[in-house]
Amino acid sequence: MARIAFIGLGIMGLPMAKNLLAAGNEVIGVNRSQGAVDAFIAAGGEGTLSVAEAVSGAEVIVTMVPDSPDVEGVVSGPEGAFAHADSGALWIDFSSIRPDVSARLSADARAAGLRPLDAPVSGGEPGAIDGVLSIMVGGDAADFSAAQAVFEAVGKTIVHVGPSGAGQTVKAANQLIVAVNIQALSEAVVFLEAYGVDTDAALQVLGGGLAGSKVLDQKGQKMLDRNFDPGFRLALHNKDLGIVTSAAREAGVVVPLGSAVAQLVSALVARGDGGLDHSGLFKLTNELSGK
């Protein structure tokens, strides 16, 4: 059992914190809004609005917040986690942020006596609830080994992919693949519906062949039902695709499909659909087809 400070009790963070609690750890949850803290307390955890209070005495500090500035905001400065954490504590950042920011903050963490791991996740809200997330981890191999119990409480596929920042690079690639797959599925469903095909039957058989994917399994029915309740919001995928396109440009790599889908996602966010699930890409594809 470890004492864990869990910062960020959102769609993903709250169920992850609950799973860490269920695994027998002492977990204190931190969030900007009292409602999320209250929900975690109701689940049996501790809660506070103070990062400094939460990290003091914690053996493991977890961050799961939306973007690079959010991570920097909770770990840096006089009230941040680095200033109040105990020397030797593990810092695990489950957030999806820019690889260069992750590498810089990891260096800051080491200077503060902490052991940093960037460990973005894939699997969405269902994976977070069921504790079966895929976790791509950057950082020192010894620190990765020390964090195994934490990772195993929230994930199923857990892989050390390299030094600090590598986890975020792999997550960017993950988000590129997912976005392009969602767009392809959106186009396929619009195509099938235009010909009056039994779409339930069509997705069933497509899922059993080479076209099958977790994206089809998890997002196909949502498109058929026009149910875009968020498991992973378009606004967050928009942020992630910005990371992809920026990092690809810096590396001199072309991502033509990724760039096109990034523009479609940005269009949805700009018109006010950022709170929808990323399967909401179907809406714009449908509309562009005059449906």
Beta partners for 239? none
Catalytic hit among 18, 171, 222, 283: 171
Beta partners for 117? 92, 139
Residues whose CB is less than 8 angstroms from the CB of residue 196 and which lie 6 or more positions away in sequence, other chains included: none
Q: Which residue matches tokens 């690889």? A: 99
CB atoms within 10 A of CB 205: 10
Cα separation, 10 vs 189, in Å, equals 31
Question: What sections of 195-255 are H helices per DSSP?
Answer: 199-207, 214-225, 234-251
Q: Residue 213: what are its φ and ψ, rounded to 5°?
A: -165, 165
Is 222 catalytic? The answer is no
Residues that are catalytic: 171
